[in-house]
Amino acid sequence: MDFPKNINFNHIFIIDLLKDNEFQTARRLDDDLSVFIPSSQRVYLKIASKEQLIKTLLHIELMEIPQGIKPIIHIEGHGSEQSLSLPNGTTIRWGELYEVLSKINFALNNTLILFIATCYGFHYINTLNILTPTPTYCLISPSKSIEFGGIESGVAVFYKNLFITKDLDISINNLMEHDNTFDFYYSDRFFIGLMINYFKEGHYGKSSRQRLERLLSEAFNRDESEGCILARNERRAVLSQRRKYAKKFIKSENSRFDIYKRNSLKFLGNYDKEIYDEIMKEVKLKIK
């Protein structure tokens, strides 16, 4: 199951985290892209420290995006399974980068394309938390160690296809055919897969009981915040009644849609009834 998404991008930020005495693959990428991406849509940034990197990303979020910039962010440098390296010897943990880029992706309504051209760059997505906003719509990156400069030609192929066709799927497929070093992540597809598995396996039993208790707790917390304090015997009667209603609700179609909507808003920043309907069709097919 797949839902095509229109991604409108009009800019690319090339963030260079390489030392001056290394092969300048980021600079060469900027030169390669100049053939088909005008300078008005292309920014090359040489970054030396963690502080400068965070400041640059915050500038993109607070100053560039409000002016109508819809960027692709390309990061070129060195990475490990835990962090991204900076030229001055400092590092930034993938989780820290996740927090900053999540804000950019939120400002873009979950349309950020992120390309991390480093060793182990795909480990960035290991910090994924379904209860917080996704840090990017699409991530493209190697998940293991790579030879320095080994992915350079593949990167250029990807961007040429992307800016000419404006089709992310075609561009990624062409990249994978050219160089299978890369992995990729789509937030929408990832979330849909989670929801299908949840409704197929986790909507009943222990998970259902936990949700029942959460709904009851939320109801009583809401009562207290509104100044409604119940005596012990009143609370027992209300609890019994609410538990009966909550059990009925949890088994209903409205309950399933509530779960989808709540989590989709948290993770993707939006929800779509059509997507929910397709998820439930897929669930029913897998249960048969």
CA dist., res. 119 & res. 123, Å (int): 9
The token pair at 3 is: 């839902």
Q: For 228-270, what is each residue's pLDDT tens digit?
A: 766 666 666 766 676 666 666 556 667 788 889 999 999 999 9
104-108, 123-127, 190-194: the lowest-pLDDT one: 123-127
The pLDDT value recorded for residue 16 is: 97
CB 136 within 8 A of CB 187: yes
Element (H, E) at 33: helix 25-33
HSE (CB half, 13 Å, CA atoms) of 77?
Answer: 29
The continuous run of DSSP H or E covering 105 comes out as helix 94-107
Mean pLDDT of 78-106: 94
In total, the chain counts a number of residues equal to 288
- Kind and range of the H or E run holding 279: helix 273-287
What angle, 0 to 180 degrees and rounded to 10, lies between the N-to-C axes of helices 232-250 and 206-225?
130
Contact yes or no for 19/27 (Cβ under 8 A): no
The DSSP secondary-structure symbol of 224 reads: H
User: Is 150's pLDDT higher than 70?
Assistant: no
Cβ atoms within 10 A of the Cβ of 26, count? 25
Q: What is the pLDDT of residues 211-229, one digit of tens each?
A: 656 666 766 667 666 667 6
Confidence of residue 205 (pLDDT cuts 50, 70, 90): very low
Inter-residue contact 181 to 145 (CB < 8 Å): no
Predicted model pTM? 0.80
Convert 165-219 into a string of H (helix), E (strand) and C (coil). Answer: HCCHHHHHHHHHHHCCCEEEEEHHHHHHHHHHHHHHHHCCCHHHHHHHHHHHHHH
Which amino acid, 155?
V
> What's the mean per-residue pLDDT of the chain?
85
pLDDT digits (tens, 9 = 90+) for 47-65: 999 999 999 999 999 999 9
Least confident of 134-148, 152-166, 239-253, 254-268: 239-253
Strands 83-85 and 91-93 turn out to be antiparallel
Amino acid at 257: F
Q: What is the pLDDT of residue 229?
A: 66
Residue 122, SS3 per DSSP: helix
Whether 97 has a pLDDT exceeding 70, the answer reads yes
Whether residue 147 contacts residue 181, with contact meaning beta carbons closer than 8 Å, is answered with no
Is residue 16 within 8 A of residue 46, CB to CB? The reply is: yes
- Confidence check: pLDDT of 189 > 90: yes
Question: What number is the average pLDDT over the span 156-166?
Answer: 88
> Hey, what domains does the chain have and what are their CATH numbers?
11-186 (3.40.50.1460), 191-287 (no CATH)
